[in-house]
Chain A
Amino acid sequence: MSDQFDVLIIGAGVVGNAIARELSRYRLNIGVLEKEQDVGMGTSSRNSGVIHSGIHYKPGTLRARLDVKGNSLMQDLCRELKVKVDYIGKLTVAFDESDVKTLERLKEQGEANGVPGLEMLDADQMRKKQPDVGGIKALWSPSTGIICPYGLTIALAENATSNGAKFILGQDVSSIQQNGQGFVVRTANGNAFTTRVLINAAGLFSDHICEMLGINEYRIYPCRGEYLILDKRLKVRLSVLVYPAPGHGGAGLGIHLTNTVDGNILIGPSNEYIDDRDDYASTAAVTDQLKKEGHELLPGLSISDFIRSFSGIRPKQTSPQEGGFKDFVIESRRDIPGFINLVGIESPGLTSAPAIALMVRDMVEERLPLVKKDIFIAERQARVGTFSELSPEEKADLVADDPDYGEVVCRCEQITKREILDAIQNPMGNRTILGIKYRARAMMGRCQGGFCLPRIVEILEKEFGYRPEDFILNRPDSRLFAGRVR
């Protein structure tokens, strides 16, 4: 495979995809290289799914500016892309007078950053937002929201694809050479791609990409956060986000409960520096700790309320000894003309992605003429949310038109065969089980695919000609089956 691009983006996470989608408005030949078999397989999908308001970041930093701007862009973007987002607001709770001072400082900082609607609430006002919450005062940030992080990442990629961007999956970049007009990018499986502008959006591996171009000033320290996912049964217990006032030290925001747009509750994340950037294991120590805190925060939790654990890895630029945060690196390299470099886009990267895309767009414009296409398809053809969230009348109409809506395949999440088929026939050409899971939400419920995976396998075999050896979970070697029984 050999292709020539105007712009080549390395990394199909939320940032790479937002850039691809933004640039797909213009007459450019855009490519996106991704080492995994699908978009959003790294940090982008494995996080709390929170749209941050921007109170936590130092005024004047990229993190502050891009977060607040990204937050304000997200609502329209999600409307266009049919992605679930819900600005439910957040209470940051003070338990003593020193916390109150912290909150006052956060409020000032947030206002300096341009965060809208910040309010200090007394205990009564705070309990009107969320009954049973402890503490003496709270900072209310109405622009904090929740979003489906992989939903956004996939939707950006699909919409960019509709507008002509080319996502090439399974391409692990192994070397980059500068040539007269730009760059030659080679991948581990022997492909070569040429491009005039090269964008490093490789997230956890962004420092490796830098090294391939002789840039040695950045280093990523992987920092893992583990989560537990709780059964939807508990969703009634939490209507807004509730975080304790940040304490001193520590690199993350602390373990807390986060409700998801799909109605689950997450407990987490933990905060642990690790050596392997690909080690998404859950550990006994953290799981026990999360369970303990979960029981404290939500009395009455039972063992069957824990659906699954998962972990994500933050691409931190600060070592364990340093702790804390460094600002995002987003630079158009003078020393390497045409190379736009993004390093250390950890939290609030998800919120900032739409604003990062605009910033990168301006950097691209310094190198290439940007001419708008006559036709840009801003709206993604999709439904927000699942069939199960519709009213009985809407469901009845859909089933009458398309019997595949009548057949529920995933009983826990009530995902229909039509939704499974749409996920299988996704525009990215993803052929993995995880791809179906992330797109359709099947297998994400309390039985974790025990009932619907066999049915999905049957659909893929009978209607798409899969053989047992064709089924992979996510990576090429993650085969589901050993073959035929006989």
Chain B
Amino acid sequence: MHTLKRDLVIIGGGPAGLAAAVAARESGCDNVLLIERDRRLGGILNQCIHDGFGLHQFGEALTGPEYAQRFIDRLNSLSIETMLGTIVLSMDRDRILHVSSRKGFSRIEAGAVILSMGCRERTAGAISIPGTRPAGIYTAGAAQNFINLQNIMVGKKVVILGSGDIGMIMARRMTLEGSKVEAVFEILPYASGLPRNIQQCLNDYGIPLYLSTSVINIHGKERLTGVTVAQIGQERKPVPGTERHVECDTLLLSVGLIPENELSRGPDIQLEVKTNGANVDDTFMTSIPGIFSCGNVLHVHDLVDHVSDEATKVGQFAAAYLKGDIEIPESYINIKPGKGVGYVLPQRISGDRDFVLSLRVSEPCRDKAVLVRDGDKKVKRKKMVRLHPAEMIRIPVRVDKLGDARSLEVCVE
């Protein structure tokens, strides 16, 4: 079997992998290989033809493909090696990968690996909606692929379950293409997507959003004929008497994204229950030395600009690791989410460098502060007007503020 050796192998050529590859190359790593399973780079950005990408990175509103192209151009100008249409089938602790493409099956020995495989959509099975399983039920992202990349219309009378960003964007998209979007139903008492999408994708088009409401039954033996919806009360159970039938031929699901960490199970990388992503330190190194993780495979982001930021740093760290500039500490300072915080990342830091905490609050609130503390000692406090689980919060922390902390807690107060 064909064997290759590369200093740095990046798995996944979406926004995270692209930014990581560029940054690693610019940080002096000459032997970078970017592997992408699709036949083109850019990942899911390719099907995101709406605008709003790049406001932070480039100060302008780009479409998904335009945003990706900015990085692809840089990648090309740096002559970074890519393998397209290539899937990594396995990876072990020693960073030996088996990959497959139409050109052949090969083995790659990598000095370091950056995981940037992105995420997948939660399915109807995962949320166990009762009822039949007719045609006409799609995840929002699959529908987006059919409509935007394949010129295929998935349906005419649409119900959307879940107020994730892709679901709301598809509500607008399908309305623009002549479908009737009956409503968006969200099981939680608040929307799970960004406020700007509620305004621009739903309110502007008169599409109602019903909170604390969910689809509780699916009807139709061949094509979907309708769904039963109901208000959701205690213990996520339907409130009796609130059931109503909504006629539709299409149900789009936007009920959450799951980091696609199946490959990470090969080397037994430690995964976190709260993020479904790897446990990482302040260099984004996973529990396995030389394997890094960034982007949506690490934790689901709401803005691609943040993915690029994070991946750029990871590319730099991986390059530094290969040069021997990163020492793996004997012990870490652990960071735990406290009251009001859903998750915080990195989960552990070396105390050797400044870092940025990424976190999400567990429920919406106003006029509170995010507090980083070492026991009773305040390390950092950031006041915020609006805190919402849909919006990732990023807090830079200077290492000289840590003192002799052995562990940190991040909470809302």
- On whether A482 and B156 interact (CB within 8 A), knowing A282-B131, A396-B105, the answer reads yes
Interface residues of B in 54-102 (CB under 8 A from A): 85, 87, 89, 98, 100-102
Which residue from B105, B131, B132 sits with its C-beta under 8 Å from A406?
B105
Number of B interface residues in the complex (CB < 8 A): 58
Q: Is the CB of B133 within 8 A of A280?
A: yes
Kindly state the separation between the CA atoms of A231 and B150 in the bound complex, as whole angstroms. 30
The minimal Cβ–Cβ distance linking A255 to chain B, given in whole angstroms, is: 16
Q: Is the CB of B155 within 8 A of A396?
A: no
Instruction: Verify if A303 is at the interface (C-beta below 8 Å from B).
Output: yes
The minimal Cβ–Cβ distance linking A423 to chain B, given in whole angstroms, is: 18
Encode A402-413 as 1/0 by CB contact (under 8 A) with B: 011111100110
Instruction: Verify if B286 is at the interface (C-beta below 8 Å from A).
Output: no
Residues on A with beta carbons closer than 8 Å to the beta carbon of B106: 396
Instruction: Verify if A380 is at the interface (C-beta below 8 Å from B).
Output: no
Interface centre among A405, A412, A450, by most chain B C-beta atoms within 10 angstroms, is A450
Q: Is the CB of A412 within 8 A of B105?
A: no
The minimal Cβ–Cβ distance linking B189 to chain A, given in whole angstroms, is: 19
Residues on A with beta carbons closer than 8 Å to the beta carbon of B136: 480
Instruction: Verify if A1 is at the interface (C-beta below 8 Å from B).
Output: no
Which residue from B134, B150, B217, B276 sits with its C-beta under 8 Å from A304?
B276
Number of A interface residues in the complex (CB < 8 A): 64
Which residue from A279, A291, A399 sits with its C-beta under 8 Å from B105?
A399
Instruction: Verify if A479 is at the interface (C-beta below 8 Å from B).
Output: yes
Interface residues of A in 249-303 (CB under 8 A from B): 278-284, 287, 291, 302-303
Residues on A with beta carbons closer than 8 Å to the beta carbon of B153: 468, 481-485
Instruction: Verify if A306 is at the interface (C-beta below 8 Å from B).
Output: yes
Instruction: Verify if B142 is at the interface (C-beta below 8 Å from A).
Output: yes
Residue of B nearest to A477 (CB): B222
Encode B202-233 as 1/0 by CB contact (under 8 A) with A: 00000000000000111001110000000000
Q: Is the CB of A477 within 8 A of B223?
A: yes
Instruction: Verify if A429 is at the interface (C-beta below 8 Å from B).
Output: no
15 pairs across A/B with beta carbons < 8 Å?
A229-B125, A284-B130, A284-B216, A304-B258, A396-B1, A403-B102, A405-B100, A414-B87, A451-B142, A478-B135, A481-B154, A482-B155, A482-B249, A484-B151, A484-B152
Closest 5 CB pairs of A and B: A308-B125, A477-B222, A396-B105, A478-B222, A473-B135
Instruction: Name A's B-contacting residues (CB within 8 A).
Output: 228-229, 233, 278-284, 287, 291, 302-304, 306-310, 388, 392-393, 395-396, 399-400, 403-408, 411-412, 414, 416, 446-451, 453-454, 457-458, 461, 468, 472-486
**What 16 additional pairs, Cβ within 8 angstroms, besides A281-B132, A474-B222?**
A279-B132, A280-B133, A284-B217, A307-B126, A392-B107, A399-B100, A399-B102, A406-B102, A406-B105, A411-B37, A446-B120, A454-B150, A473-B135, A475-B222, A479-B135, A481-B153
